Amino acid sequence: MKREINETTRREFIRLLGAGGCAAALLPTGLSAHEGHEPGAVHPNPTEAFPQIKAGEETILILLYPGFTAIDAIGPEYVFSAMIGATVKFVAKTTAPVRTESGFEVTPAFSFKTCPKKPTLLLIPGATDGLLHALADAETLDFIRDVGGAAKMAGSVCTGSLLLGAAGLLKGYNATSHWQTAELLPLVGAKPVDQRVVFDRNRVTGAGVTAGLDLAFQLVRYFRDDFYAKGLQLLAEYEPQPLFAGGGDHKKADPRVVLLLNEMHRPFVDKTGGIIRSVVEKRAV
C-alpha cells in the first residue's frame, strides 16, 4: 500500500481538504509552504479533532553489499518509503545489481560516489557469509565511516551492527545485534544491550532480522511523531501473531532450539570474531 501513500497522498490531501473532508484537520497549518502547496488549498481552521500529520524531508540511505539479508534492508525500506516527503534509496559500491543472501538481485539507486554525503540516516543490513566479505572490504568500511559518521543517525539491523562497529561508529555506544553475534560487539568498543532496538545518541541498532521492522517504526516516530507511526502501523497491518510465544527470544525459546542454532552457527560467530579482531587492529578502531 506504499505507493498510494508516497505518490498520491499529497494530491489526495488537497482533494480531501478542498472537499472539506475530515482529513482537513490533519494538516499542520504550515504545511502548504513547507510542502510547496498552493496556500489556498490548506484548510484555514483545522479542527482539534485530529492530531497533525508531521511533514519531513529525510534522506534515508540503505546500504547494499553482496550477500546482504534482503529482509533486513527491504523491511525498513517499506516503512521509510511511506514517510511522505522522505527520500529512501539503496546505495552500493556501484550501481550494478547486488546479489542478496538467497541469490536474487536488487538494484541500488546510488553508488558510493554518487550518493548524498550527509543523509538523515544510513542503515546497514546484516548478512552471514556476505558479512565476512564486507568486514574485510576497506572501501565499504570507509564508506560507512564517512557517510554514517556524517549522517544525523547511523543504524543497523541484525549483524549489520558489526559492520557499523568495524567502521568505528559504535565505539562507546550501547548497541545490539543478532542474539548470536551480540557477544562480538565489545570487539568494536560497543556495549551489548539485550533489547530489540537500542537508541544511543546518534546510533540505532536492531536485533536479528525481523527487528528491522520494529527499528523502522521507532525511527518513524523519532523522525515524525506518534500519530505518523500509528498511521504506518495500521497501513502495514503490523499486528504480528508469532506462532510460539517467546519463540523469537533466545532467553525464552525452546532450549533445544537455542542449542541447535548455537551449534550450527558457532563456526560463523568464531570466524566473524576473528575477522573483526584483525580489522580493528589494522584500522585502529
CB-CB contact of 269 with 180 (8 Å): yes
CB of 173 to a second copy, least distance (A): 20
- Going from the C-alpha of 271 to that of each of 1, 117, 236, 281, the distances in angstroms are 41, 32, 37, 16
Rounded to whole angstroms, the Cα distance separating 87 from 92 reads 16
Cβ-based nearer residue to a second copy, 242 or 274:
242
Q: How far is CA 157 from the centre of its chain?
A: 7
Cβ-based nearer residue to a second copy, 109 or 280:
109
**221 contributes a contact to a second copy by CB under 8 A:** yes
Site for a second copy in 226-265 (CB under 8 A): 226-227, 229-231, 233-244, 246-250, 253-254, 256-261, 263-265
The interface region with a second copy, picked from 37-45, 115-123, 133-141, 177-185 by CB under 8 A, is 177-185
Selected from 28, 111, 146, 268, the binder of a second copy by CB under 8 A is 268
22 is catalytic: no
CB of 62 to a second copy, least distance (A): 10
Beta bridge partners of 91: 63, 110
CB of 239 to a second copy, least distance (A): 3
SS3 content of the chain, % helix, strand, coil (to 5): 45, 15, 40
Q: Per-residue x/- marks for a second copy, 46-65, CB under 8 A?
A: ---xxx--------------
Number of H helices, E strands in the chain: 11, 11
φ/ψ (deg, to 5) at 199: -95, 130
Cβ-based nearer residue to a second copy, 22 or 33:
22
Site for a second copy in 63-102 (CB under 8 A): 67, 69-71, 74-75, 77-78, 81, 88, 90, 97, 101-102
Structure-block grid coordinates of residue 119: 543523509
What is Dmax (Cα atoms) for the chain? 65
- E strands, the chain, in order: 59-63, 87-92, 98-99, 105-106, 110-111, 121-124, 153-156, 174-175, 191-192, 197-200, 203-206
Q: Which of the residues 53, 134, 141, 158 is marked catalytic?
A: 158
Residues touching a second copy, count (CB under 8 A): 97
Cβ-based nearer residue to a second copy, 11 or 171:
11
φ/ψ (deg, to 5) at 162: -75, -30
Rounded to whole angstroms, the Cα distance separating 60 from 27 reads 23
Cβ-based nearer residue to a second copy, 157 or 285:
157
CB of 88 to a second copy, least distance (A): 7
Site for a second copy in 101-120 (CB under 8 A): 101-109
Cβ-based nearer residue to a second copy, 140 or 159:
159
Site for a second copy in 12-41 (CB under 8 A): 12-13, 16, 21-23, 26
**207 contributes a contact to a second copy by CB under 8 A:** yes
Looking at the annotation, which residues are catalytic?
Answer: 158
